[in-house]
């Protein structure tokens, strides 16, 4: 059995390193196997390579005895003391026994005692004396197998391996079963051939008995390990299974693990490990730690093997991020082993990036080489990103380092200078990037430090440098830091483009998180995003709860979104966006109770969010009636972030929302935070804002408070005081005291446009002396913009929903614009043939699906025919985009930040009805699209998603926009499209809707000015009968679709004729009894027709004469054999001053 491994390390300094410590490790969240990234490359590789190269001698654990005499038992007891670490005490005991019992000891006992004394001397550092003592000991029992073997060890300790092998080979032939000698022969071979390219393995020459011996086998495995013979690790594992308590094989296995990962996981910038591999490295650390702790508990000196153990242990602790153990052992090394420069430098390198600055400084002070010490100090600043210290590094100091390290240092120092506000840092970095091609490590530092500096111009410079240099073949750690830079710049499309095909994105937690974030920030959510989330995130959302919740939220799946986001918050999540998502879900669901409960449940102050998000929360709070607190939060945000346009705009909106009279009236005297105005008896007025802490200053240091504030403190409007000056007394009068909230509001109103000229969102108009020219100019500009938009729609036959996206106007606003400019919505051509073909098409889709665009979906609900459509078609589809748009518009714009479109009070009912009846279908566009479709998706995906859903589902496309139906047919081959009136006609013909509902529905379309509403006698008569308004407004609306310049004369004349006959004849003579007519021709009164009938007739006559040839038909009506009609028409004509 061996005592321990002793390493004879190679002499010389370790090579220079320019690497950074473990400050960039990827977080491991939950059970996933995310890689852990370690940035120490050269340091670790160099140190471990020394472990592999340096070979050592191994001692036996003393000379065991065979005969158990009293002396033998004493020797065994002292030997156990030596093996347990009490070397000094054992040596004293052995020497005392030798002196006291010298005359009573036989040769074997003398050999054992003297040999153990030699081993004690070696362990206490007497390396020259020990071999001589051991050789002397062997002379006492020259034929004893142990003495024969230990003579070979004595040669090894004298560093004469050739003598040991020559002696050993001779003796092993003479004593073929001497397992101890065989073990020492194998050690001598290992040490002799440590730097050779090959070696002679004596193991095969040993007897089978020796080859099965435990000590010989482990010595042989050690030999194979030193030469990196393939399969040695498997032999070690097999040995370990047989002897699981063998310390030497554990040490070998640990070294094997360390060497394996250093060889196979190193890159230009560091090491990457999965969690499983980290666990294996932890096991290796445990094995070496046991050996190291045994040394620490002993009183022997540190041998080369111990130093190698601690060096490897520090590396393993570094790789496994065991910070506590690392600090503990570094402290021990600096206190007890500071004489070894290699260990000291390894210790200093291990302390880089740890929050142990004092310990690190101790280590650096013990580094003898001043250049290495400077390098270590700079590396520590890099690891801690000590911007101030880095910015103070002088340019001449770079000359002390090698070119590569100097270039890396320059990158970090120049960025640090820019970070602390030195513009020259940016210029120096630009020049460096122009004149020098950075290696992988240099690029990594550029990406990492640029993102960490949070200076957009620096980050953009780094991104521009890396954009073409970072490819799919780039080393993983460099790629990772480049992607962090891209994330900082919020270049979501690049994140998706680069990460989606990258294999590491499905393995790395942070890259997966980054890709998920990139997908979520792509609008709308793409098909690739859905596939990614459904494959990698939603099946096991652990660690991704918030992102998964947002994914469902953006897809309107609130039922799945809420539990995930709540889980994120309940487990300590601190992102304010999670709270915002829950609030917005409640707001979009119009669940005020749930919204109030959220504010009661969560402590918003404990969450971390951007100022814009906090302002959004303040507005949400205001919407539930907590105005005072909301305004206080909004005001504080404005005070803290005066240079933020969104915050200023948010404060303006919050102030407008809140019921604030009582709040503002509470300030009547000058106090903390208020604003006051002083008017002098001569000179200019003074306005001041009182600092929030002024009250305390007045008590503690009144001299720090300005003169005027001291004078008016606690005073109300009207207060006056006199200021004495050389040129005469000035009387100051306190003219105005404003609450800080009111002053902030006025400040935003007055300065927003000049402070944020490109932000938009708030404009001020100066109206003086009733001069409203500025207001008229604004209206004129708006009209001009609307004219341009309408011209585009008309000229290009642009679908109105596409126009909505391009103009950023709400879809219903665009329909209103078209109505205001052209009078009608272009719904169809208006021919009879077109109408008949459309009705036949609708009939063919009975029992199949139909899909509505956004405008049609709203109109269908408002007309009350959605249930009828579902009964006829079986399934009525609405796109997910349509539902989202309607939900956003259903939320009052003053209550919900970011809502679009004008307010529509009935939209809540529209959304509810759609959710109850319709099938909401989501169409996810892929990232790869033709140019036009790609632009349309980016502009307004909802404008074209119904086309694709109609095509995918074989559904009938229903839209009131003829441009949209034509666009869909021409570009996307969606040829089956109809408009609402023909659908209503079919529903009426099938008896699915009542006559009353039919009439109301068509009238609703007419009221909305949809072009070419088909009006029949039944509809016209129904509207006339039901219209009870004094001006017959409903009938007037319907008359707009009768006659006119473009109408076909005969069909319209027949419609008017039937109405006239009904009102002027059939109303009083339903069966047209000729006898009645003859009698009335002789004598009649004025009971018929009624005033209502005559007014209605006059409306129709107005429409008739607009038809080309209509005046001729008017003459035909005049000449009808109908009582009173002739005089009525002549009077109507003359009353309008018409001329025939």
Q: pLDDT tens digits for 687-699?
A: 998 988 888 888 8
pLDDT for the residue 1075? 66
Q: How confident is the model at residue 921 (pLDDT cuts 50, 70, 90)?
A: very high
pLDDT for the residue 912? 92
Residue 730: strand, helix, or coil = strand
898 and 839 share a domain?
yes
How many Å apart are CA 470 and CA 440, to the nearest integer? 10
Q: How confident is the model at residue 1140 (pLDDT cuts 50, 70, 90)?
A: low
1127 and 1058 share a domain?
yes
Q: What is the mean pLDDT of residues 599-624?
A: 93
Dig out the tokens for 869 from the structure.
Answer: 């459509």
Q: Which of 475, 478, 512 is nearest to 496 (CA)?
A: 512
CA dihedral over 323, 328, 329, 335, signed as positive or negative:
positive
Q: How many helices (H) and strands (E) does the chain have?
A: 58, 13
Contacts of 273 (CB under 8 A, 6+ apart): 35, 36, 38, 261, 265, 281, 319
The answer to whether position 382 is within a domain reads: no
121 and 163 share a domain?
yes
Cβ(409)–Cβ(428) below 8 Å: no
The CATH number for 704's domain is: 3.10.50
Q: What is the mean pLDDT of residues 95-105?
A: 85
pLDDT for the residue 274? 76
Whether pLDDT at 494 is above 60: yes
Whether pLDDT at 24 is above 50: no
262 and 170 share a domain?
no
Higher pLDDT residue, 256 or 594? 594
277 and 188 share a domain?
no
pLDDT for the residue 59? 56
Q: Which of 808, 812, 814, 810 is nearest to 760 (CA)?
A: 808
Whether pLDDT at 404 is above 80: yes
How many Å apart are CA 1072 and CA 238, to the nearest integer? 116
Last residue of some domain: 952, 969, 998? 998
State the chain's mean pLDDT as an integer. 85
Highest mean pLDDT among 85-99, 642-656, 837-851, 1026-1040: 837-851
How many Å apart are CA 897 and CA 657, to the nearest integer? 12
What φ, ψ does residue 1040 adopt, rounded to 5°? -60, -15
How many Å apart are CA 715 and CA 737, to the nearest integer? 9
DSSP of 334-380, one letter per residue? HHH-TT-HHHHHHHHHHHTTSS-HHHHHHHHHT---HHHHHHHHHHH
Residue 808: strand, helix, or coil = coil
Q: What is the mean pLDDT of residues 177-205?
A: 88
How many Å apart are CA 745 and CA 663, to the nearest integer? 14
The CATH number for 840's domain is: 3.40.50.1010
Residues in the chain: 1140
CA dihedral over 51, 54, 60, 62, signed as positive or negative:
negative
Of the CA atoms within 13 Å of residue 1139, those in its CB half-sphere come to 0
36 and 74 share a domain?
no
Measured between its terminal Cα atoms, the distance across the chain in Å is 133
The answer to whether position 535 is within a domain reads: no
Query: For the chain, how many structural domains are there in total?
Result: 6
Calculate the CA dihedral of residues 291, 296, 302, 304 and round it to 10 degrees: 20
How many Å apart are CA 927 and CA 882, to the nearest integer? 21
Q: β-strands 720-723, 730-738: how paired?
A: antiparallel
Whether pLDDT at 268 is above 70: no
Contacts of 201 (CB under 8 A, 6+ apart): 189, 220, 223
Q: Which of 924, 863, 919, 853 is nearest to 886 (CA)?
A: 853
Q: pLDDT tens digits for 358-401?
A: 888 888 888 888 888 888 888 888 888 889 999 999 988 888 88
Give the structural domain span for 248: 1-55+244-369
The answer to whether position 845 is within a domain reads: yes
The CATH number for 12's domain is: 1.25.40
How many Å apart are CA 556 and CA 911, to the nearest integer? 12
What φ, ψ does residue 677 adopt, rounded to 5°? -125, 130
Sole residue written with tokens 């559904």: 955
704 and 748 share a domain?
no
Q: How confident is the model at residue 1066 (pLDDT cuts 50, 70, 90)?
A: confident
The answer to whether position 545 is within a domain reads: no
DSSP of 873-922, one letter per residue? HSEEEEEHHHHHHHHHHHS-TTTSTT--S---TTHHHHHHHHHHHSEEE-
The CATH number for 107's domain is: 1.25.40.10
The answer to whether position 780 is within a domain reads: no
Higher pLDDT residue, 49 or 136? 136
802 and 944 share a domain?
yes
pLDDT for the residue 868? 96
672 and 810 share a domain?
no
**Nearest 5°: CA angle at 346, between 341 and 351?**
125
The answer to whether position 65 is within a domain reads: yes
Highest mean pLDDT among 68-82, 360-374, 534-548, 944-958: 944-958
pLDDT for the residue 647? 94
727 and 744 share a domain?
no
How many Å apart are CA 1056 and CA 1022, to the nearest integer? 14
> What distances in angstroms separate CA 30 from CA 790, 1054, 1098, one per listed residue?
56, 79, 80
pLDDT for the residue 898? 38
The answer to whether position 381 is within a domain reads: no
1 and 130 share a domain?
no
Q: pLDDT tens digits for 922-936?
A: 999 999 999 999 999
Q: What is the mean pLDDT of residues 1117-1123?
A: 84
Tell how far CA 1046 is from the center of its chain: 58
993 and 1026 share a domain?
no
Calculate the CA dihedral of residues 312, 318, 322, 327 and round it to 10 degrees: 80
Cβ(564)–Cβ(545) below 8 Å: yes
In this prediction, what percent of the chain has a pLDDT beyond 90? 44
The answer to whether position 1124 is within a domain reads: yes
Cβ(885)–Cβ(857) below 8 Å: no
């Amino acid at each position: 059995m061996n005592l321990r491994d002793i390493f004879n390390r190679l002499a010389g300094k370790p090579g220079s390193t320019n690497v950074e410590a473990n400050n960039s490790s990827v977080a491991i969240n939950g059970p996933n196997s995310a890689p852990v990234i370690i940035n120490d490359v050269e340091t670790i590789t160099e140190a471990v390579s020394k472990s592999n190269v340096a070979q050592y001698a191994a001692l036996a654990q003393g000379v065991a005895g065979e005969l158990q005499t009293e002396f033998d038992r004493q020797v065994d007891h002292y030997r156990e003391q030596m093996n347990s670490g009490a070397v000094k005490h054992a040596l004293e005991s052995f020497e005392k026994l030798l002196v006291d019992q010298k005359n009573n000891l036989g040769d074997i006992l003398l050999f054992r005692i003297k040999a153990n004394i030699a081993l004690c001397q070696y362990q206490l550092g007497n390396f020259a004396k020990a071999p001589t003592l051991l050789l002397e000991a062997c002379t006492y029992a020259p034929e004893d197998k142990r003495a024969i073997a230990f003579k070979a060890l004595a040669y090894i300790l004298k560093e004469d391996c050739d003598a040991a092998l020559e002696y050993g080979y001779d003796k092993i032939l003479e004593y073929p079963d001497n397992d101890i000698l065989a073990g020492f022969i194998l050690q001598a071979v290992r040490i002799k051939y440590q730097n050779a390219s090959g070696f002679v393995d004596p193991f095969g020459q040993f007897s089978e008995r020796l080859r099965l011996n435990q000590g010989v086998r482990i010595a042989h495995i050690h030999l194979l390990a030193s030469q990196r013979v393939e399969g040695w690790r498997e032999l070690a594992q097999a040995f370990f299974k047989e002897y699981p308590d063998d310390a030497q094989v554990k040490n070998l296995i640990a070294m094997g693990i360390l060497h394996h990962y250093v060889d196979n996981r190193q890159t230009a910038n560091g090491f990457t490990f999965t969690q499983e591999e980290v666990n294996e490295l932890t096991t290796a650390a445990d094995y070496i730690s046991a050996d190291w702790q045994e040394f620490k508990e002993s009183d022997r000196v540190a041998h080369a093997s111990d130093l190698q153990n601690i060096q490897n242990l520090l590396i393993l602790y570094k790789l496994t991020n065991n910070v506590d153990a690392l600090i503990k052992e570094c402290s021990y090394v600096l206190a007890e082993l500071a004489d070894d420069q290699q260990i000291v430098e390894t210790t200093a390198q291990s302390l880089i990036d740890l929050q142990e600055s004092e310990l690190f400084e101790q280590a650096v002070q013990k580094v003898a080489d001043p250049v290495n010490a400077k390098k270590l100090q700079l590396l520590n600043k890099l690891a801690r990103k000590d911007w101030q210290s880095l910015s103070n590094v002088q340019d001449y100091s770079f000359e002390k380092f090698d070119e590569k390290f100097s270039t890396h240092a320059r990158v970090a120092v120049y960025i640090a200078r820019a970070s602390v506000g030195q513009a020259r840092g940016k210029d120096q970095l630009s020049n460096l990037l122009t004149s020098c091609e950075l290696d992988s490590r240099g690029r990594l530092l550029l990406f990492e430090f640029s993102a960490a500096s949070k200076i957009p111009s620096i980050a953009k410079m780094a991104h521009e440098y890396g954009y073409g240099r970072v490819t799919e073949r780039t080393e993983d750690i460099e790629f990772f830091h480049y992607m962090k830079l891209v994330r900082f710049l919020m270049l979501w499309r690049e994140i998706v483009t680069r990460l989606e095909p990258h294999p590491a994105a499905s393995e790395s937690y942070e890259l997966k998180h980054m890709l998920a974030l990139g997908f979520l920030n792509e609008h709308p959510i793409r098909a690739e995003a859905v596939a990614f989330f459904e494959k990698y995130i939603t099946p096991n959302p652990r660690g991704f709860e918030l992102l998964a919740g947002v994914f469902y939220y953006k897809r309107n799946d609130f039922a799945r979104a809420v539990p995930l986001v709540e889980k994120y918050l309940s487990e300590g999540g601190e992102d304010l966006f999670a709270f915002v998502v829950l609030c917005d879900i409640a707001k979009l669901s119009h669940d005020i109770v749930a919204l109030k409960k959220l504010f009661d449940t969560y402590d918003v102050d404990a969450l971390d969010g951007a100022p814009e998000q906090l302002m959004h929360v303040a507005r949400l709070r205001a919407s539930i009636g907590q105005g005072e607190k909301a305004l206080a939060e909004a005001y504080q945000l404005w005070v803290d972030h005066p240079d933020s346009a969104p915050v200023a705009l948010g404060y303006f909106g919050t102030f407008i929302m809140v019921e604030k009279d009582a709040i503002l009236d509470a300030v009547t005297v000058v106090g903390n935070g208020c604003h006051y105005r002083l008017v002098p008896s001569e000179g200019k007025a003074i306005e001041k804002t009182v600092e929030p802490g002024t009250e305390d200053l007045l008590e503690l240091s009144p001299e720090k408070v300005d003169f005027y504030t001291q004078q008016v403190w606690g005073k109300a409007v009207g207060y006056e005081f006199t200021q004495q000056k050389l040129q005469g007394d000035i009387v100051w009068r306190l003219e105005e005291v404003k609450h800080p909230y009111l002053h902030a509001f006025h400040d935003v109103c007055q300065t927003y446009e000049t402070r944020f000229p490109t932000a938009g969102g708030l404009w001020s108009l100066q109206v003086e002396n009733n001069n409203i020219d500025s207001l008229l100019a604004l209206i004129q500009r708006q009209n001009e913009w609307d004219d341009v938009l309408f011209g585009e729609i008309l000229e290009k036959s642009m679908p109105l929903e596409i126009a909505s996206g391009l103009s950023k106007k709400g879809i219903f606003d665009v329909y209103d614009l078209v109505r205001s400019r052209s009078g009608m919505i272009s719904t169809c051509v208006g021919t009879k043939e077109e109408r008949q073909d459309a009705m036949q098409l609708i009939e063919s889709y009975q029992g199949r699906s139909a899909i509505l665009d956004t405008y049609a979906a709203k109109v269908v609900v408002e007309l009350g025919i959605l249930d009828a459509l579902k009964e006829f078609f079986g399934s009525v589809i609405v796109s997910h985009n349509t539902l989202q748009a309607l939900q956003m518009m259903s939320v009052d714009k003053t209550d919900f930040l970011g809502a679009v479109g004008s307010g529509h009070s009935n939209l809540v009912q529209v959304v509810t009805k759609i959710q109850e009846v319709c099938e909401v279908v989501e169409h996810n566009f892929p990232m790869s699209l033709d140019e036009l479709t790609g632009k349309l998706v980016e502009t307004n995906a909802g404008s074209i998603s119904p086309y694709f859903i109609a095509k995918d589902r074989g559904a009938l496309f229903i839209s009131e926009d003829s441009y949209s139906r034509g666009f869909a047919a021409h570009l996307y081959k969606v040829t089956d499209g109809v408009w609402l009136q023909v659908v209503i006609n079919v529903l009426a013909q099938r008896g699915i809707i009542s006559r009353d509902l039919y009439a109301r529905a068509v009238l609703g379309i007419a009221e909305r000015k949809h072009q070419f509403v088909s009006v029949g006698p039944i509809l016209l008569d129904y509207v006339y009968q039901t219209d009870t308004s004094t001006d017959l407004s409903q009938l007037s609306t319907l008359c707009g679709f009768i006659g006119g310049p473009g109408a076909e004369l005969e069909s319209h004349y027949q419609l008017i004729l039937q109405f006239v006959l009904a009102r002027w004849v059939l109303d009083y003579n339903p069966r047209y009894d000729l006898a009645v007519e003859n009698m009335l021709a002789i004598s009649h009164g004025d009971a018929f027709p009624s005033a209502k009938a005559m007014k209605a007739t006059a409306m129709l006559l107005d429409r008739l004469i607009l038809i080309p040839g209509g005046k001729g038909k008017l003459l035909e009506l005049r000449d009808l054999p109908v009582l009173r009609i002739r005089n009525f028409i002549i009077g109507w004509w003359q009353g309008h001053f018409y001329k025939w």
